[in-house]
């Protein structure tokens, strides 16, 4: 625009600035008219349009609705607001800002800020972005956390660094209540910072259970208050390779702030080789030639209502060789039936956990032993199906017996195979077995397992992510809407780039690159 012999006053500058902003926004809107919503895992009901709203990190804020049961001072949500502000605006100094900006108002029906998430916590939420206002509503703070994650994934940047979010309406909830990740910290010790970083990554994929397989045959890193010798003699190193009581509290607190339960596993009577180093009378001595050849406080430390008792891969050879064990079996009327002895042991442990108001989870081996000896009556445990082969046949068998199931068999991510082969973990159909609706309601979810034989902090993250996210969508989203690998791939590829930008070393899915490839990594 050419003007001559005109004095420029402030009103003129404001006019030209206004025109420039209008032209700029029109160009941006045209550039993003084909905006693609890449939320992972996919919400159950989502509609969006090309209508855009700018976000200014200098004025954007989360706040509480007037009628929300939760208000400022809720440490869990106040911390979440700060955390997600940084995730939404990782480099907010760039870009230019417009005059009208969007804010996000949250509202809950219940004030459960001081609670821990549990097996029936609601994670349902509704999110709407329209007319310059974002609104996030949920029954509980746990639903708000899931909605915050979704909102953070809706925000995007243009080439100049400005932030936008499109008009969007979402109604969302998890398909399965139990969505877990197992880490094995016995075969290789994982530093606390690696566990905390895993919890961050879990929250980005809406996982809600951290299954901590904390001890096993190779080492006993859990530092017990009652039996300190267990870690002093059973850990790889009694000072550097242990989880102190403070470490455990830190993990539990960090998980709670992200809506994640911590499920401890102390696997017995098998997988207890490291226990005997610090408690000489704990393990059954094996006998050769008539002579020996060698070789809880959990309910108060871990607040979750579930505890994993293990019970898998029990080797009966030591029991069989021990004359005291054989004499006890004769006294109990078990004869030489060692599965009956194992069932007797597990039932006693289950009774102890029940007396402490805990629900027991066991590996499927325990179910198989009880099935063999006909001892399923009044045996109320959750069964985790982990063996390969026809795992859905086992799911059907367990649910037919009236027991709840957690599925792990198809999601052993530590097994050999190319790290980019995520589709095998995506195309899993947990309820694709013949059975009644009642049986299928007994499948409460599943979990990804990362066993530690060949995994430590150096390779944990690229082996786990983003393949674990494929299982996360299967456990959260509607199966019919997420049955296509081809349609899911662009969203997962975009989500993997989000993980990289958030500092999670997620492995590549194919040839290509991310716009912010190495920030934070």
- Catalytic site positions: 313
E strand intervals along 366-482: 382-385, 404-407, 443-450
Residues for the chain: how many in total?
521
Q: How far is CA 365 from CA 91, 179, 370, 431, in A?
A: 51, 21, 9, 21
Residue 168's SS3 state is strand
| Per-residue CA distances from 519 to 58, 193, 206, 502 (Å) | 22, 19, 23, 8
Distance CA 3, CA 32 (A): 34
Q: 73 near 114, Cβ under 8 Å?
A: no
Where does residue 72 rank: exposed (0-12), middle (13-18), buried (19+ CB within 10 A)?
exposed
Residues facing 128 on adjacent strands = 135, 169
Three-state secondary-structure class, residue 316: coil
* Cβ neighbours, 10 Å, residue 25: 15
Q: Is 419 exposed, middle or buried (0-12, 13-18, 19+ CB in 10 A)?
A: middle
């Amino acid at each position: 625009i050419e003007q001559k012999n005109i004095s420029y006053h402030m009103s003129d500058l404001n006019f030209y600035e206004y025109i420039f902003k209008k032209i700029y926004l029109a160009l941006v809107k045209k550039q993003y008219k084909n905006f693609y919503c890449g939320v992972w895992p996919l919400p159950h009901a989502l509609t969006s349009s090309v209508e855009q709203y700018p976000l200014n990190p200098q004025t954007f804020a989360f706040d509480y609705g007037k009628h929300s049961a939760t208000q400022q001072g809720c440490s869990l949500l106040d911390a979440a607001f700060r955390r997600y502000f940084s995730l939404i605006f990782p480099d907010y100094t760039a870009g230019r800002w417009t005059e009208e900006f969007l804010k996000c108002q949250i509202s809950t029906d219940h004030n459960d800020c001081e609670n821990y998430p549990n097996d029936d916590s609601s994670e349902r939420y509704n999110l709407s972005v329209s007319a310059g206002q974002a609104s996030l509503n949920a029954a509980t703070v746990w639903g708000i956390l899931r909605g915050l994650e979704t909102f953070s994934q809706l925000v995007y940047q243009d080439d100049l660094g400005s932030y936008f979010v499109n008009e969007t309406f979402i109604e969302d909830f998890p398909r399965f209540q139990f969505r877990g990740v197992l880490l094995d910290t016995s075969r290789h010790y994982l530093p606390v910072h690696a566990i905390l970083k895993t919890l961050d990554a879990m929250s980005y994929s809406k996982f809600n259970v951290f299954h901590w397989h904390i001890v096993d045959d190779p080492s006993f890193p859990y530092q017990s208050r009652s039996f300190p010798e267990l870690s002093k003699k059973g850990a790889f190193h009694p000072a550097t390779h242990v989880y102190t009581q403070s470490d455990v509290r830190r993990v539990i607190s960090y998980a709670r702030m992200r809506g994640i339960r911590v499920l401890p596993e102390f696997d017995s009577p098998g997988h207890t080789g490291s226990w005997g180093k610090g408690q000489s009378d704990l393990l059954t001595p094996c006998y050769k030639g008539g002579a020996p050849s060698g070789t809880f406080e959990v309910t108060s430390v871990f607040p979750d209502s579930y505890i994993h008792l293990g019970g898998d891969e029990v080797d009966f050879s030591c029991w069989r060789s021990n004359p005291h064990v054989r004499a006890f079996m004769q006294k109990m009327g078990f004869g030489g039936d060692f599965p009956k002895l194992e069932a007797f042991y597990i039932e006693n442990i289950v009774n102890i956990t029940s007396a402490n108001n805990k629900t027991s989870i066991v590996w499927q081996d325990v179910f198989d032993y009880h099935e063999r000896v006909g001892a399923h009556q009044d045996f109320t445990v959750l069964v985790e199906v982990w063996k390969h082969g026809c795992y859905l046949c086992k799911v059907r068998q367990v649910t037919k017996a009236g027991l709840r199931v957690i599925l792990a068999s198809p999601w052993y991510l530590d097994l050999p195979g190319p790290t980019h082969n995520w589709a095998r973990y995506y195309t899993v159909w947990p309820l694709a077995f013949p059975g009644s609706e009642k049986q299928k309601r007994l499948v409460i979810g599943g979990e990804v397992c990362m066993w530690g034989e060949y995994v430590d902090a150096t390779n944990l993250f690229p082996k786990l992510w983003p393949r674990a996210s494929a299982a996360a969508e299967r456990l959260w989203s509607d199966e019919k809407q997420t049955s296509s690998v081809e349609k899911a791939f662009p969203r997962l590829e975009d989500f993997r780039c989000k993980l990289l930008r958030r500092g999670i070393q997620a492995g590549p899915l194919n040839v290509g690159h991310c716009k912010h490839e190495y920030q934070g990594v």
